[in-house]
Structure 1
Amino acid sequence: MKLLREIELKLTAGDDVATACRGVGISDATYYNWRKRFGGMGRSQLSEMKSLEKENARLKKIVAELELDKLILKESLNHLKPRA
């Protein structure tokens, strides 16, 4: 957010996008990606998005662990079945 604000200030001062991006040390492609993703967001929305991303990562880890447990149980069940 801070870098986006700096670039926006440089753009309003008359710099072009490439020069403003070089001034803060990022590429113009990164600037456009960030602007598309974070443009128009306030601090509260950004912090909410970060907390949701963190929660999503935690839930994905739980699902992966449960899937692994399920596969282990299936393999164990297959070994315990009598073979005819």
Structure 2
Amino acid sequence: MKTSKFSDSQILAILKQAEAGTPVPGLCREHGMSSATFYKWRAKFGGMDASMMARLKELEAENSRLKKMYAEERLKAEILKEAIEKKW
């Protein structure tokens, strides 16, 4: 997955500027990003502070790791099931 060229603190600062009344098109031009990126950030991180944003990233990483673990265990279970069915 591609990483963002903006840090968490930069994203929060950009969102704060927009809340302060800076027009979105000018903000996007100033920071070199698309308006779609801005609106995606606002939907995801709007109203958060730095600690909440860090916690969200931790939870997303943990969720990804757990999904991978589940997929691996599910695959093992399917292999064992096929092996047992073939023996009888």
* TM-score for the superposition, normalised by structure 2: 0.77
Give the aligned partner of residue 87 of structure 2. 80
Q: Does 1:32 align with 2:39?
A: yes
> Structure 2 regions of 5+ residues with no counterpart?
1-7
Q: Shift in Å at residue 50 of structure 1?
A: 0.8
CA RMSD of aligned residues (A): 2.0
Q: Quick one: which amino acid aligns to residue 3 of structure 1?
A: I
Aligned residues: 80
Give the aligned partner of residue 11 of structure 2. 3
Give the aligned partner of residue 43 of structure 1. 50
Query: Sequence identity of aligned pairs in percent?
Result: 41
Given that 2:28 and 2:35 are in contact with CA atoms closer than 8 Å, whether structure 1 keeps it comes out as: yes
Q: Quick one: which amino acid aligns to residue 55 of structure 1?
A: E
Q: Which structure is larger by alpha-carbon Rg, 1 or 2?
A: 1
Given that 1:7 and 1:20 are in contact with CA atoms closer than 8 Å, whether structure 2 keeps it comes out as: no
Q: Does 1:63 align with 2:70?
A: yes
> Structure 1 regions of 5+ residues with no counterpart?
none
Q: Shift in Å at residue 18 of structure 1?
A: 1.2
Q: Shift in Å at residue 6 of structure 1?
A: 3.4
Moved over 4 A (4+): none
